[in-house]
Amino acid sequence: MTEQHQRKFVYGRRKGPKRSAHQAALFETLLPRIAWRTAEAFAGEVWLEVGFGAGEHLLWQAKQHPTVTMIGAEPYEGGVAKLLSKLDGEPVSNIRIHMGDARDILAALPDASLGRVFVLFPDPWPKTRHHKRRFLQTAMLDTLALKMKQGAELRFASDDAPLVDYTLERLAAHPAFTWTAARAADWKTRPQDWPPTRYEAKQLHGVPAFLRFVRKLAT
């Protein structure tokens, strides 16, 4: 199976409800202005959110850190439409949107260029035959280790216990990452600089876990 063939299985549907006239206009006018481009260079810190949903977390981080470029990847058109609507009423200049696969961004970014990576409440893909669709697999951790700066932070959250265990197992075994948790409260409680999202509020599968891993320093 080729890499291109494998990639189409990583996320689910792309189409959402029919866009309103206002949303359609934003896709034509606003999105091209803030779309991520492979050739664009960023002078300061760059953070990446993989699957930003409706964009609440991405927008909050961008507003709290105006000198950081926030790149958000989201293949679902409905989520992109929601974020565009928010940005239309409250323009934020340090956001870039890629309506597609986050691996497109990772492939184009220079090595050691990311200061933070967020993977928050992804689809758990609970069936064993679908585990290959989970984003944080060992090969992806190899890529992130290459693209993240030393000391950069990888944040992961999920309310699906099997997915949390799956992710912890792979991250704990990876030589480039170390878990920051010193006690249970460190992963059971959402940090103050980690705003809630609508997916966290739903708690469809259970109590959320908030994992923070750091790209190890070279020895």
* Structural contact between residues 80 and 28, judged by C-beta atoms closer than 8 angstroms: no
Does 101 qualify as catalytic in the annotation?
Answer: no
Catalytic residue, from 104, 123, 159, 165: name it: 123
**To which H or E segment does residue 152 belong?**
strand 148-158
**To which H or E segment does residue 82 belong?**
helix 77-89
Q: In what order do the strands lie in the sheet with 177-179?
A: 95-98, 69-73, 46-50, 114-120, 148-158, 209-215, 177-179
Rounded Cα distance, 52 and 36, in Å: 14
Q: What is the DSSP string of 119-135?
A: EES-----SGGGGGG-S
Give catalytic residues, as residue numbers: 123
